[in-house]
């Protein structure tokens, strides 16, 4: 490790140790969602199952609660329920990543963990940071044990990328098909009059040397940048998940500042350029971005997202002013009816404790629970979570809405999200101290939101039957 790396490591460990008692007093600290020990968290990175353990890295700014210099923080878990925080694993300590170890992925082969990420450089000066002043390097770390990450190498820099793109290229995701390795990265093309987002694919025979292969573009102008691409086959269909920036807001369709979602890839061959059409939102709530998938020990494709968005910091309350953001629960993906479905990962059932009544929630101020609702008729359906947060079915729309003065307070800037939906058959809702994740119709639509309740209560109205389980907290051991 470099001298700079060693110094940063010492400083972060000290900071994390000091912060632990402080963050514990924050009533919005979550019980079964991963958070940074201190400072800021954004994208999940490098998700993988390696040597009998899941590795969950994340974009981490330990020094700045509103984001800043990015590191990779690192959790390990055998069961997705009990976690060890093992500290920072990747430091911005080389000249090719000195302004941030940005997002990336891991690829496992021959008992080795290959980490690919973007080394960010932003020069000081009067630049637009689009075509100049910014460099994006692709960096590889080969680790023999998933603990030591010293073996760093810059494998691609600006001159190695194809023509026609700005300096925004990042977030490599790597996979293998047959004997060929593939890497996909998100780009901002320098098309005129508007820049256009796209994803580009590279191939390699040795995981180190990469050659540009093809580009995935949208038919219409759709966003100026696509962040965090993830390309995979699920139930026989190629899907490109990505996060487009710069899409005009459309009610009940594209509502967040930046989008999360997927394109269905209309071909089976990645060698030629591909044009994609409709973009589908994965999570229609207020707080979901930069999801990444991995394969779990049972061969399921599982997704975890960042329960937050960039550039809307004022919508996140921060009592202790020492930490910000969390990851979502893990969700198993499937593809049917031409659509991606999300189901809460099976491991979460292990958190279930006793069953509860709605009165128990109010009387005992219970802040971590799961509700399973069978809807017989969604006409008069109304669910109120912690007074102020409403779920309704109105005019053929599923609606999640913060209502009234209390809604304003607990929503912290959030208002309404909705989707066109004829019927609601069932709902599965996960409530934590300051988050709600709602799976509609077996995960055909999902809504995730942060919220800042004053006290806990739950009302379920309509022609429904339901069961409520109290949920246990994650076991989290901090190796600070």
Q: Which is nearer to ligand FRU, 58 or 369 (CB)?
A: 58
Q: How far is the CB of 339 from ligand FRU (least distance, A)?
A: 25
**Active-site residue identified among 26, 43, 296, 432:** 43
Q: How far is the CB of 227 from ligand FRU (least distance, A)?
A: 4
Nearest to 411 by CA among 419, 401, 420, 424: 401
Q: What angle (nearest 5°) sits at the alpha carbon of residue 92, between those of residues 294 and 133?
A: 105
Task: Outline where 193-279 has alpha helix (H).
Answer: none
Q: How far is the CB of 130 from ligand FRU (least distance, A)?
A: 14
Give bridge partners of residue 165 from the DSSP assignment: 189
Nearest to 260 by CA among 305, 224, 220: 305
Between the two ends of the chain, the Cα-to-Cα distance in Å is: 18
User: What does DSSP assign to residue 348?
Assistant: G
| Contact (CB, 8 A) for 243 and 197 | no
How does strand 458-471 pair with strand 352-356?
antiparallel
Q: How far is the CB of 335 from ligand FRU (least distance, A)?
A: 24
Q: Which is nearer to ligand FRU, 225 or 375 (CB)?
A: 225
Nearest to 329 by CA among 83, 153, 6, 88: 83
43 tagged catalytic: yes
Binding residues for ligand FRU, per CB under 6 A?
Answer: 42-43, 59, 70, 102-103, 118, 170-171, 227-228, 289-290, 310
C-alpha distances in angstroms, 23 versus 15, 275, 410? Answer: 12, 47, 20
d(CA 112, CA 161) in angstroms, rounded, equals 27
Q: How far is the CB of 226 from ligand FRU (least distance, A)?
A: 9
Q: Which is nearer to ligand FRU, 188 or 393 (CB)?
A: 188
Q: Which is nearer to ligand FRU, 201 or 309 (CB)?
A: 309
| Contact (CB, 8 A) for 88 and 480 | no
C-alpha distances in angstroms, 330 versus 50, 212, 343, 430? Answer: 17, 32, 9, 12
d(CA 55, CA 64) in angstroms, rounded, equals 24
Q: How far is the CB of 184 from ligand FRU (least distance, A)?
A: 13
- Provide φ and ψ at 348, rounded to 5°: -65, -20
Q: Which is nearer to ligand FRU, 229 or 344 (CB)?
A: 229
Q: How far is the CB of 170 from ligand FRU (least distance, A)?
A: 5
Q: How far is the CB of 135 from ligand FRU (least distance, A)?
A: 13
How does strand 180-189 pair with strand 196-204?
antiparallel
| Contact (CB, 8 A) for 285 and 448 | yes
Q: What angle (nearest 5°) sits at the alpha carbon of residue 388, between those of residues 385 and 389?
A: 50
| Contact (CB, 8 A) for 182 and 172 | no
* 3-class secondary structure, 145: coil
d(CA 184, CA 408) in angstroms, rounded, equals 40
Q: How far is the CB of 387 from ligand FRU (least distance, A)?
A: 32
Tokens 């690919």: give the residue: 116
Q: Which is nearer to ligand FRU, 196 or 428 (CB)?
A: 196
Q: Which is nearer to ligand FRU, 42 or 322 (CB)?
A: 42
Q: Which is nearer to ligand FRU, 262 or 341 (CB)?
A: 262
d(CA 82, CA 230) in angstroms, rounded, equals 27
d(CA 48, CA 42) in angstroms, rounded, equals 18
Q: Which is nearer to ligand FRU, 69 or 429 (CB)?
A: 69
Task: Outline where 282-371 has alpha helix (H).
Answer: 358-363
Query: Which residues are designated catalytic?
Result: 43
């Amino acid at each position: 490790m470099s001298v700079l790396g060693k110094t940063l490591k010492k400083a972060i460990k000290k900071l994390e140790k000091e912060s632990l008692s402080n963050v514990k007093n924050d009533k919005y600290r979550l019980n079964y969602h991963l958070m940074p020990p201190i400072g800021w968290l954004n994208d999940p990175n490098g998700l993988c199952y390696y040597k009998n353990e899941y590795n969950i890295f994340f974009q981490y700014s330990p020094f700045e609660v509103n984001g800043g210099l990015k590191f990779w923080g690192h959790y390990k878990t055998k069961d997705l329920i009990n976690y060890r925080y093992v500290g920072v694993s990747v430091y911005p300590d080389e000249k090719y990543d000195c302004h941030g170890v940005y997002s990336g992925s891991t690829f496992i082969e021959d008992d080795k963990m290959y980490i690919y990420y973007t080394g960010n450089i932003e020069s000081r000066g009067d630049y637009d940071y689009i075509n100049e002043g910014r460099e994006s390097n692709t960096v590889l770390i080969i680790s023999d044990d998933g603990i030591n990450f010293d073996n760093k190498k810059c494998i691609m820099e600006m001159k190695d990328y194809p023509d026609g793109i700005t300096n925004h290229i990042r977030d490599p995701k790597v996979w293998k098909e047959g004997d060929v390795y593939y890497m996909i990265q998100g780009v901002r093309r320098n098309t005129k009059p508007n820049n256009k987002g796209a994803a580009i694919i590279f191939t390699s025979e040795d995981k180190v040397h990469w050659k540009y292969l093809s580009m995935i573009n949208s038919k219409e102008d759709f966003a100026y940048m696509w962040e965090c691409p993830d390309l995979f086959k699920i139930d026989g269909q190629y899907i490109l998940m990505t996060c487009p920036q710069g899409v005009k807001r459309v009610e009940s369709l594209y509502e967040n500042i930046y989008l999360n979602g997927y394109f269905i890839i209309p071909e089976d061959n990645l060698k030629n350029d591909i044009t994609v059409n409709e973009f589908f939102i994965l999570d229609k709530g207020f707080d979901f971005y930069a999801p990444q998938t991995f394969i779990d020990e049972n061969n399921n494709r599982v997704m975890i997202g960042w329960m937050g968005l960039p550039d809307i910091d004022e919508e996140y309350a921060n009592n202790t002013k020492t930490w910000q953001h969390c990851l979502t629960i893990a969700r198993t993906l499937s593809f049917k009816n031409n659509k991606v479905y999300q189901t809460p990962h099976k491991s979460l059932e292990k958190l279930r404790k006793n069953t509860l009544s709605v009165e128990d929630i109010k009387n005992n101020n219970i802040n971590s629970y799961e509700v399973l609702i069978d809807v017989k008729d969604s006409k008069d359906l109304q669910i109120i979570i912690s007074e102020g947060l409403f779920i309704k079915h109105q005019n053929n729309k599923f609606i999640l809405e913060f209502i009234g003065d209390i809604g304003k307070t607990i929503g912290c800037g959030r208002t309404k999200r909705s989707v066109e939906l004829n019927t609601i058959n069932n709902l599965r809702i996960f409530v934590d101290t300051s988050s709600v994740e709602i799976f509609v119709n077996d995960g055909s639509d999902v809504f995730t939101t942060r919220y800042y309740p004053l006290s806990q209560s739950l009302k379920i109205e309509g022609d429904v039957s339901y069961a409520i389980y109290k949920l246990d907290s994650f076991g989290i051991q901090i190796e600070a």
